[in-house]
Each structure stands twice: as C-alpha cells, then as structure tokens.
C-alpha cells in the first residue's frame, strides 16, 4: 500500500491506496471531519479519475469519527463514480462511528456497503 499525496494532517487521518487487477482499495483510518474531509474528497476523486480503474473500494473500518463534511466527501465520490460508470463500494466493519452516521443520513441505503 502507498500513502496518497493529499493535503491532510497525518496525525489525524491516514489514507492509503492499493491497486490490484480487481481494482483499487482505499483504506482510511482516523478522523474524517471538516479539516480532513477536503483532502479525502480530492484523493477519492483522483483515484476515481484514473484510467482503467473500474472498481474502487473504500475501507472505512479504521475511521474513528465521521461528521457531515466526511459524509459529503463520500457522497461526492459516489456521484463521481456513478457519472464515470465506475463501481464504488464501502467497507464499514463494525465501527459505530461510521455505520450510525451513514444510517441516520440514509447514505447507508444509497452506497454499496460490502459488509453489514
């Protein structure tokens, strides 16, 4: 895995991407809030814009905090994936910090969640 070049505070969030023949997995750990969400959004859009990347999985199981700015970044990535004809899925694990905000906002039913 490689750390992605995004403008975020590495003491608060870690974003790594791994590419394989099946697609790209972006693993996020830490806090996704108004300070870190813009960098995450840019990272997700950059990966979704790569030629030949048909499938992207976002692993949120290491996220400890997710606020409205983070939800907005994920929703923006979802719209970009749909517009580009790419498959975007979310892996949430059992983290209440991720599952609950997605459920409350209805994004849980909009996103493709690969573990429930």
Name every residue whose Cβ is closer than 8 Å to that of residue 99 and which is 6 or more positions away in sequence: 92, 108
| Span 43-59, average pLDDT | 93
Tell me the per-residue pLDDT of 67-98, one tens digit each, with 9 for 90 and over: 999 999 999 999 999 999 999 999 999 989 99
Tell me the per-residue pLDDT of 93-116, one tens digit each, with 9 for 90 and over: 998 999 999 999 999 999 999 985
| Domains present along the chain, CATH in parentheses | 2-113 (3.30.750.24)
User: Please, which pLDDT band fits residue 59 given cuts at 50, 70 and 90?
Assistant: very high
Residue 43: which of 2, 83, 100 has the closest Cα?
2
Supply the pLDDT for residue 1.
Answer: 47
User: Please, which pLDDT band fits residue 7 given cuts at 50, 70 and 90?
Assistant: low
Name the one residue in this structure whose structure tokens are 């994004």: 107
Supply the pLDDT for residue 95.
Answer: 84
Supply the pLDDT for residue 3.
Answer: 47
- CA–CA separation, 51 vs 62, rounded Å? 28
Supply the pLDDT for residue 9.
Answer: 61
DSSP alpha helices (H): ranges in 3-115? 37-48, 68-84, 96-105, 107-110
């Amino acid at each position: 895995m490689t750390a992605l070049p995004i403008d975020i505070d590495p003491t608060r969030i870690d974003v790594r991407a791994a590419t394989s023949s099946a697609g790209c997995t972006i693993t996020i750990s830490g806090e996704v809030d108004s300070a870190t969400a813009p960098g995450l959004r840019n990272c997700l859009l950059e990966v979704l814009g790569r030629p030949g990347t048909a499938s992207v999985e976002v692993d949120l199981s290491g996220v400890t905090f997710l606020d409205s700015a983070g939800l907005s970044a994920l929703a923006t990535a979802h719209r970009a994936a749909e517009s580009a004809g790419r498959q975007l899925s979310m892996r949430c694990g059992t983290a209440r910090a991720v599952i609950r905000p997605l459920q409350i906002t209805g994004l849980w039913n909009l996103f493709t969640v690969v573990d429930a």
